[in-house]
Structure 1
Amino acid sequence: MAVNARTEKFQHIEVFDKPALFTNGRIARDTVPEGWYCYDIRGSDDDPGALCYMEENVVVNHAGSVLMPEKLVMPKSGRLDVRDELGFLDEGNMTLREFCEAHQLSYPTENMKFHIRPARPEEAGLFYTPHPEEDKRLGTVGHVRMDFGRSGNEFWHTWWSRGPEELNSPAFKLELQEVVDTLRESVLKNRFAMERFCYEHGGKISGGWTQNYGYIVETAHYRYCLRCNPSPGDYNCYCTAYDLDVQRQNMAQDKPLVGRVTYANGDAQEFTDAEAFLKCVREELPYRPTTGFRYEVLTDDPSVRRQVDDIIFDLYGEEAPCRQEDHEPRPEQGMTFGGM
């Protein structure tokens, strides 16, 4: 599994007398900030863990990756011998932000406007066409079918509407175009880029005659579910769009939400099952300082609220951290969540 350049704990090193960061993991290239450079290090056939050569990309015998603010000049061979050029500085783990502070560099801004995350196993159904009634309940707008052609570098696409025409609004069309244009810089760049993205980010989902990968982009009003199949000879991608406002209204009428959780990286999850919500709070709250985990209790059920308070007290006692709901008004009973 690839690591995120912005959140990984690196080792501080010098390579060719230049400051850099090292990790044994494989750095996901789409997380490398603009103006920064990432290289892989190849190990030997006898000892794959030995740090021998630095290259743009290493598939076999990958021994680590290097992140640095300066570009290295690669010879025609495409590799640099680093066996006598790597110096590890004994300073403990270091994040990208800490590296920038240590070397008086500006911390780079985020590359992507839209956050993309791998799908969870239970979300696999969002990537395939269900019964029309389920499409209606989920607020499905439609899907884009995409293909990279025979060469793997083309980009053919077709839109298929699956919901009421009013959902396919000008505002939606504009945002969909922005999302696809942004993803064209990474996972949708070409077939090879998609294959590499899937290899680095995981996201395997069930279904299909070959292995498919699922990724989700969620904005304020829409959820985009990207089903990727980097194999030639078939359509390479389907992007299904859901209207979250419609979905929340339908869910509120069907089964009210119990709670919602969010993370600093943009991930969010809503619960209609009280036990699942409580389990999530219990498991994720201890990691709040590193994940940015926050929760909202959206039910007036006193037993659920009491159990959440018990979880907080068991973990923190009188030093309980502030909850998101402590700073925001609770929704009125009977309110549809699409109107929040």
Structure 2
Amino acid sequence: MIVITAPTGNIGRHLLGRLLDSAPAAGEELRVIVRDPARLPDAVRGRVEVITGSHGDAEVVDRAFEGADAVFWLVPPDATLTPYDAYSEFTRPAVRALGAHGVGHVVGVSALGRGTPLADRAGLVTASLAMDDLIADSGVAYRALANPSFFENLLEESASIRENGVFTDSVDADRKAPLVATADIAAVAAGLLLDRSWTGTDSVPVLGPQDLSPNDLARIMTEQLGRPVRYERQPLDELHTVLVGHGLNEAFVRGVVDMKRAKDQGLDAGVARTPDTASPTGFEQSCGRTLKPSVRC
């Protein structure tokens, strides 16, 4: 039995599709935890066991982990909480349930940065790494998927690209860094969940095929979208003011700003790209598949 959290999100929906294709042949049953089962496609609801609720709820994870062999763990950050509460405190009931039900393997969504000088001052990334430690200390076999930023984050810029030909971030325009497609993260997670011959704890970087700067992204978007697109750098203090103005928790906002600052200082550059850490989907493909339809809406 494999339990999937956040099955309707960007990573979870890709993972669930892959597991539905492969798990029956491998003799695996699937169970999902979801707040709103109506968000699951009809065809999916008929093929998985559904536990309704939040996977931050002790009663929910206790029911969900009963009889489970493996868990896919993804925490959707809650901007109403501090980073520590949003990651570690959210995860703590699940850690107790893992031990209570003897779950053997967990695959979690995390971030790059472990072992770098920036890891302890990287805001949300620091909180994510602390969550990894919490899970690993439970005694399960654990693999943390160490990811850079996602291509799909640019979907938040769709309106600005469509209306103004501009997207924004807070890193230097020429700062090259890895970026990854969420479908590729799901593919790595599916492989680990279906072949649980691994033991102990470790990080599994998923780095995409190449490092790209914001200027590189602007060039590729211009080519793929057929319209000029340029990058504008947003100062971190301005980002802080904007996010606080949206009513986000002040500590969470500091976590976002500290993460952005660390990324601009090279947080994601600490792992070499090899055939094992590279993933196949490039930005050209991702842009055409996901961003282009959104910009044209």
Taking structure 2 as the reference length, the TM-score comes to 0.30
Q: By percentage of residues, which structure has more helix?
A: 2
Higher Rg: 1
Name the TM-score, length of structure 1 as normaliser.
0.27
